[in-house]
Amino acid sequence: MTGVNVKSEIGPLKKVILHRPGNELLNLTPDTLERLLFDDIPFLEIAQQEHDAFAQALRDNGVEVVYLEDLMAETIRDNAALRSQFIEQWIEEANVHTDKWHKILHEYLDSEYADAKALVEKTMTGITLDELDIDRTNSLVDLVSSPTEMVCDPMPNLYFTRDPFAMVGNGVTIHRMYSVTRNRETIYGQYIFDNHPDFKGTPQYYSRKEAFHIEGGDVLNINDHVLAIGISQRTEPDAIDTLAQSIFHDERSSIDTILAFDIPNSRAFMHLDTVFTQIDHDKFTIHPGILGPLTVFELTKGAEGKVKVNRLDSDLESILTKYVGQPVQLLQCGAGDRIAAEREQWNDGSNTLCIEPGKICVYQRNNVTNDFLYKNGLELVVIPSCELSRGRGGPRCMSMPAWREDL
Ligand SMILES: NC(=[NH2+])NCCC[C@H](N)C(=O)O
């Protein structure tokens, strides 16, 4: 299967991109948690077991699982020039700007990480000063730095493959991220979509070089004509405008309407997919926090290539009913209990990954919500979640579908 095809949130899932959490999680410390967007330090071994269970559950349901680290390794494996270009870019974006340090780091990676996959994983893990074989006695900077200091930061959020890029129909959007720590994650997507034989040639609708931020957790494919995007902590309205221009101008895209949902700017609601996900033709899981009046902007193709914007003051149910084209049912996280709703939403109770209409992958810990979904006729693929959930993302955040069957 080459290229991408994602024209809904629910069409039978055929291929998905994941990242198995790796040593980057070992470089999280209490001091860096906030900056690196974690709330606690996961126990890596268990996080990996949980993640393997997630991947296996998807395979058991007929999904091909491909790993970001393998795609990236395949991209640079037999191309020395590309490998070298990647290393240089990675060092530069890790905030290392002197020739001296570029040289030290480049030589270190080439000598210790000749294998492409080992190199890719190392760039995800980060590098500490004491790994490098350098004479630390003659420069003031080197003398005052602690040997355990990270010269290049880890990228612990990589297992949330939903965010750095997103599939829209047969195209992809490669993102500029909200945070410094996550911005480097999109380097991998850029190399893969420019060079990997399975993905190159995919239309790119947004570039990581754009000025405004947007993240994949905010991008939901409602159907082949309608795309929903959250205006959130992570996604700026200007980015949605830019994206609308480029999608509407591409003849290959069938999207003619973009709905921009204005959601509260808070960590609990960081992306649109933390407050609602589609689980069946006519069903969504939602966080009760977005019930009530809601402002949505409808962007459509206007005259002379301009984007037309229309403000809709309505509520979620009416808006979804209109654009999905049939009455929808909103199933509340926490089953109507306010405390359960907040607790389980914090652990991604409404962040489900739909495998096919009516069948969804959920975190085990959200038992109030899961029980409610089950009673409403959903088929649940339940995965363990004690450690993975410490990064604040659920099954949807941890997966980027590359192929869904059309409905
Ligand atoms: N699509 C999502 N909801 N992703 C969740 C990402 C969580 C991650 N720790 C972050 O703050 O970026």
Rounded to the nearest whole angstrom, what is the distance from the C-alpha of residue 124 to the centroid of ligand 1? 17
Residue of the nearest CA to atom 6 in ligand 1? 393
Strand 307-315 relative to strand 293-301: parallel, antiparallel, unpaired?
antiparallel
Ligand 1 probe mutation, 179, 186, 219, 271, most atoms within 8 A of CB: 271
pLDDT at 92: 96
Q: Tokens for 146?
A: 């602690």
Output the residue whose Cα is nearest ligand 1's atom 10. Answer: 37
pLDDT at 390: 95
- Looking at this protein, which amino acid is placed at residue 6? V
What integer pLDDT is reported at residue 235 of this predicted model?
97
Q: Whose CA is nearest to atom 1 of ligand 1?
A: 217
- Ranges for all domains in the chain classified under CATH 3.75.10.10: 13-70+156-404
- In the chain, CATH 1.10.3930.10 covers 71-152
Could you tell me the distance, in angstroms and rounded to a whole number, from the CA of residue 270 to the centre of ligand 1?
7
Q: Closest ligand 1 atom to the C-alpha of 162?
A: 1
Ligand 1 neighbours, Cβ below 6 Å, are 37, 157, 160, 162-163, 182, 217, 270-271, 273-274, 351, 391-393, 397
Q: Facing residues of 297 across strands?
A: 260, 311
| H-run or E-run covering 312 | strand 307-315
pLDDT for residue 149:
81
Phi-psi region of 292 (alpha: psi -120 to 50; beta: other; left: phi over 0): left
Indicate which residue's Cα is closest to atom 11 of ligand 1.
37
Separation of 392 CA from ligand 1 center, angstroms?
6
State the closest ligand 1 atom to the C-alpha of 218, by its place in the atom list counted from 1: 1
By annotation, the residues acting in catalysis are 397
pLDDT of residue 4: 98
In angstroms, what is the span from residue 167 Cα to ligand 1's centroid?
Answer: 17
Distance, CA 277 to ligand 1 centroid (Å)?
15
Predicted ipTM? 0.98
Query: What does the CA dihedral 228, 230, 236, 241 come to, rounded to 10 degrees?
Result: 20
Q: What is the largest CA-CA distance in the chain?
A: 71
From ligand 1's centre to the CA of 393, what distance in Å?
5
Q: Which residues contact 31 (CB under 8 A, 6 or more apart)?
A: none
**Position in ligand 1 atom list of the atom nearest CA 270:** 3
Class of domain 71-152: mainly alpha
What's the CATH code, domain 13-70+156-404?
3.75.10.10
Ligand 1 pocket test, pick from 158, 163, 363, 400 with the greatest ligand atom count within 8 Å of Cβ, gives 163
Q: What string of pLDDT tens digits covers the 407 residues of the chain? A: 899 999 999 999 999 999 999 999 999 999 999 999 999 999 999 999 999 999 999 999 999 999 999 999 999 999 999 999 999 999 999 999 989 899 999 999 999 999 999 999 999 999 998 898 777 666 666 656 666 688 999 999 999 999 999 999 999 999 999 999 999 999 999 999 999 999 999 999 999 999 999 999 999 999 999 999 999 999 999 999 999 999 999 999 999 999 999 988 877 788 999 888 999 999 999 998 888 888 999 999 988 878 999 999 899 999 999 999 999 999 999 999 999 999 999 999 999 999 999 999 999 999 999 999 999 999 999 999 999 999 999 999 999 999 999 99
Q: Which pLDDT score is estimated for 130?
A: 85
